[in-house]
Amino acid sequence: MSKLIKTNKKDDKIIVLLFEWIEVIILSTVSVFFITTFLFKHVTVSGDSMLPTLKNEDRVILAKYVVTSPRVGDIVVVTNSGIPGHDNLIKRIIAVGGQKVKVDPKKGEVYVDGILEKATYTKEPTKTIEDMIPDQEITVPLGCFFVMGDNRNHSTDSRSKIIGCVERKKVLGKALVVIFPFDRWSLL
């Protein structure tokens, strides 16, 4: 006859607890993978084109666009910028498809659909126009965005032929919050 293996309740509790911890670790890992793959991403700002809103080396949480569309005023990350050494750029959406944009470098102003942009977030008046022709009005193609840095005179953005108007598919998502350095923590 075979002998029954005798276990005590303490051993059973340890085994159950061990399996519960393994389950928690697996579920946590799957959750983090899902969240970072489909919902959020961590990005680091490179450069000063978004001053004063974002500084070089700020770390930002980006919400990937899976349901909603980018809107005017959103700070977004754009991929495949065309600028050597800069795969991704972080800029602000100034206008969407169908809107008209005009930069007046003499006055330092930007107009969208003939209305003066009231940008309280810019560092200084917009004096540079990059490749745009002065006082030329550009119509943003449907499915595209006109993006600019908040530090307008030190930003390569939609005013440049290198970037131009950005297609929707090149927008990775919207910047939500600065998470580091901790003293700069803020919602965007």
Catalytic positions are 49, 91
DSSP 124-157: S-----TTSPTT-EEEPPTTEEEEE-SSGGG--S
Asked if 117 contacts 126 with a C-beta cutoff of 8 angstroms, the reply is no
Locate 153 and state its tokens.
């005179």
- Closest to 113 measured CA to CA, from 138, 83, 131: 138
R_g of the chain computed on alpha carbons: 24
Distances (CA, A) of 72 to 63, 87, 117: 16, 23, 11
